[in-house]
Structure 1
Amino acid sequence: MAIAETSLVFWPGGEPGPHSNPQRILYCYAHERLARRLRDVVELQKAAFEAAEQRGYRLGPLFVEEDDSGQAMQALIDAAVARIGKAAVAVPHRGHLIPLGAPREWQQFLEELVDHPLVFTGHTS
């Protein structure tokens, strides 16, 4: 499992804006099969940053599943549970949940876990 920590200072305008709440975090999940190149991961993080900024969230780590073990998903769940009510989860699209099986059920589970709709960043990788 890989977890790509993000730094808001890395991105243009990286400091939290006046409308953002630094207590709210947007965690991101992707499957390596759909983001094989470093460029893909960078694009995923850019899209996640934009999604976080638009919703007033601080961008949290990107959890990248390297296989079908579910370890990255478990790490994301553990992180989100520690911030119940102050977290949301983003994926590029539902296809990143397919390797775990039952993507709609995973979406529903994650939405119930954080009490927030799953955020689709729209990145097509």
Structure 2
Amino acid sequence: MMQIQAEDPCCVGVDVGGTFTDLVLLQKGRIRTAKVLSTQSPEQGVLAALAQAGIPGSGEESITLTRFCHGMTVATNALLERKGVPTLLLTTAGFGDLLWLARQHRPHLYDLTPIETDPVVMAVEEVN
């Protein structure tokens, strides 16, 4: 694959999952993608995806990133599956019930006995 032109700024988005690390790069209206196997060290998977997309490494040549977006499917899944350590939601005062209220997506919005699910977080703290 051709190297990215160092003089042209670009945007990069990366998602680290349990199996694959995916990357999307946008430079001068062109899109490049990369998909590599995730590693025990997430940063190594990100570096491998960057290399596969043609981004120069840590040598003398460098690129200008105007935006770098990073997502961790691994972390999101751990939270939703309630694996790992208990989670705390730290929120602005007055928004402590945000997860309880959610988006009110339920079959019968005005049913006084909705089916409740376990909370995603174990504790909520509000700060001013």
TM tier, smaller: under 0.3
Structure with more relative contact order (C-alpha pairs < 8 Å, separation 6 or more): 1
Q: Scaled by the length of structure 2, what TM-score is found? A: 0.28
Larger Rg: 2
Q: Scaled by the length of structure 1, what TM-score is found? A: 0.28
> Which has more helix, going by share of residues?
1
